Amino acid sequence: MPVIRPADALVHELHGARFVSHASPRTGSRELCAWRGEIPAGTVAPVHTVSREEILHLLDGELRVTLDGRTAHLTPGDTVIVTAGTAFGVENPGERTAVTWVTTSVGLEAELADGTRISPPWAR
């Protein structure tokens, strides 16, 4: 039975945020990925379009998310479903780090507005 302890999670950093990967092919998952996202206060992540559905659940702090030009303010307990092909932006307007739990399927890619494609290591 694969059990991933906090000390065994893989840590990645990108665009000022921290991604703590708990479930991915690197840790034994074949189909799904799950990670804790830590988004510092004042962080504005670049808008990107995702290739697979992604579920983001806010555990602590606050976030402002934009999906295809529509913006919503999230507080703890809120969940966002980002469908494949959606332009997705995240920012933390709060005064402390926002903490999220995110899931997707293996192979997620993101395309930035300038056409740059990213295959995040926590989702492969």
Residue range 22-79, pLDDT digits in tens: 999 999 999 999 999 999 999 999 999 999 999 999 999 999 999 999 999 999 999 9
86 part of a folded domain: yes
Dihedral sign computed on CA atoms, order 79, 83, 84, 89: negative
Helices (H) and strands (E) in the chain, counts: 0, 12
Summarised one tens digit per residue, pLDDT across range 89-120 is 999 999 999 999 999 999 999 999 999 999 99
Q: Is residue 1 part of a domain?
A: no
Q: Do the strands 17-23 and 70-74 form a parallel or antiparallel pair, or are they unpaired?
A: unpaired
Decide if 4 is inside a domain.
no
Which residue range forms the structural domain that includes residue 103? 9-123
What pTM does this model have?
A: 0.93
- Cα separation, 74 vs 76, in Å, equals 7
**76 occurs within a structural domain:** yes
> Average pLDDT of 78-85?
98
CATH number of residue 71's parent domain: 2.60.120.10
Assess if residue 2 is contained within a domain.
Answer: no
Answer yes or no: is 95 within a domain: yes
pLDDT at residue 106 in the model: 97
* Domain total in the chain: 1
How much is the pLDDT for 2? 84
Confirm whether 80 is domain-assigned: yes
